A and B are shown apart, each in its own frame.
Chain A
């Protein structure tokens, strides 16, 4: 565990060359069990440190299916991110997430990227949220130079994909107000 809210799931515990769906299924069981133990807004860091080969089949079974459940809100507001020694190692996983129309934040060293299916405007919006850490739609729309409705739609999609968090601000008139926060669990 890296902090109370976060946990690290080391994929290398299953070996350095990970290839079959049956191995991935076993890993997914352990991964979801660990996700279940996290607090309501906890973040699971899936670490590929020590992994040499990650096939699409293993990656899809272990991570793709788990992310599908997460996006389906089976695990509340919890989130997952990927930590990898190289982006190349995540290529097959990225393809599987693309097939599932999902996406995931991936941290390589100090740099982040997003793997899977995310349209360019969403990537741009996500980059601004990560840069600012916390945003409200109106300010973000001004920064991006787009209508507030467009910005709101982008933000909602990023929340649905579990790439950013939504938080109520406390101000409620006339409706509940929200701000949106980057997932920064690696720095916690």
Chain B
């Protein structure tokens, strides 16, 4: 892979690791990875391991800045064993918010607080956009303990989140390896058969929830609306369906099957009143280059 792995290109990972089942994943020429691609890579490697398929050799990016960033994001910890509560390493030029595991619902408030604190340390954000972003985090993070294993069919589900700032945007990513939107909606008392695309439309565009309670649902729909109003980009992936919505275009795409729900938001920094230009991650870590 010679492309940067970002929201728009991260499907390459699923396609190679899960769909085609390659025995060697060559990331040496990858010049850039965003948090969404990083989480997808993490889950894809887990999925490959769980599926017991042929061993996978990964050739990591040769660009030191990218490897440094992946380390600062605790990606390699993830390949070993991650505890849910370790305080990430911080420095002005390090990862904004390393990968954090989302456990039970009781821990969601603490995780959101951590994300907000790290963001606020770097940029004192002004309301109301900050409040809205915190609200979005609450909704997306609690979806993992509430929905990822709603059927109870998995021995355990695994959810992670991470965030990074760039010259013109912030990228927030949340991913789990749970049952996905379709299986969750099948728990409704009046289920109608839905493939992944129909489930994506129902949950994200129409606001449907697995609960009959009228107060449930509509959160993903509202988040999509919020990101659009910010002229940002959002991607929601579940099973074989991927919804991509930017300020200019939006559509539903058929993608290789993958468990769980993966979401990314790319939000313009100007929404938060951040005017100064931050260094791009490719240059952020030059000071550490060996």
Contacts and interface: CB of A to CB of B under 8 A. Distances in A.
Interface of A: 15, 17, 19-23, 52-58, 60-61, 64-65, 68, 88-89, 92, 95-96, 99-101
Contact of B135 (A15, A53, A64, A101): A53
Nearest to A54: B135
B116 A20 contact: no
Given A20-B105, A58-B138, 7 more contacts: A15-B109, A17-B113, A20-B138, A52-B131, A96-B215, A99-B218, A100-B214
B219 A20 contact: no
B138 A53 contact: yes
Contacts of A57: 138-139, 142, 219
Nearest to B108: A20
A104 B19 CA distance: 51
B135 A19 contact: yes
Contacts of B191: none
B112 interface: yes
Interface band, chain B = 20 to 34
B215 A55 contact: no
B278 interface: no
A44 to B, nearest CB: 19
Contacts, number: 69
Contacts of B146: 21
A17 B218 contact: no
Contact of A53 (B131, B142, B214): B131
B134 A53 contact: yes
A19 B131 CA distance: 11
Interface string B113-147: 10010000000000110010011011100100010
Nearest to B146: A21
B104 to A, nearest CB: 9
Contact of B134 (A17, A61, A99): A17
Contact of B109 (A23, A54, A99): A23
Interface of B: 105-106, 108-109, 112-113, 116, 127-128, 131, 134-135, 137-139, 142, 146, 214-219, 222
12 contacts: A17-B113, A17-B134, A19-B109, A20-B142, A21-B142, A21-B146, A22-B105, A53-B131, A53-B135, A55-B135, A57-B139, A95-B218
B113 to A, nearest CB: 7
A65 B215 contact: yes
Contacts of B218: 56, 95, 99
A57 B216 CA distance: 8
A60 B214 CA distance: 10
B116 A19 contact: no
B131, B146, B215, B217 — most chain A CB neighbours (10 Å): B215
Contacts of A53: 131, 134-135, 138
B116, B135, B214 — most chain A CB neighbours (10 Å): B135
A29 to B, nearest CB: 16
A15 B108 CA distance: 13
Contacts of B109: 15, 17, 19-20, 23
Nearest to A58: B138
Contact of A99 (B105, B106, B214): B214
A119 B222 CA distance: 22
Contacts of B135: 19, 53-56, 92
A19 B108 contact: yes
A56 B142 contact: no
A21 B105 CA distance: 8
Given A53-B138, A55-B138, A58-B138, A19 B112 contact: yes
A56 B214 contact: no
A56 B132 CA distance: 11
B217 to A, nearest CB: 8
Contact of A55 (B116, B127, B139): B139
Nearest to A68: B215
Given A19-B109, A100-B214, A95 B128 contact: no
A171 B81 CA distance: 76
A174 to B, nearest CB: 40
A19 B111 CA distance: 11
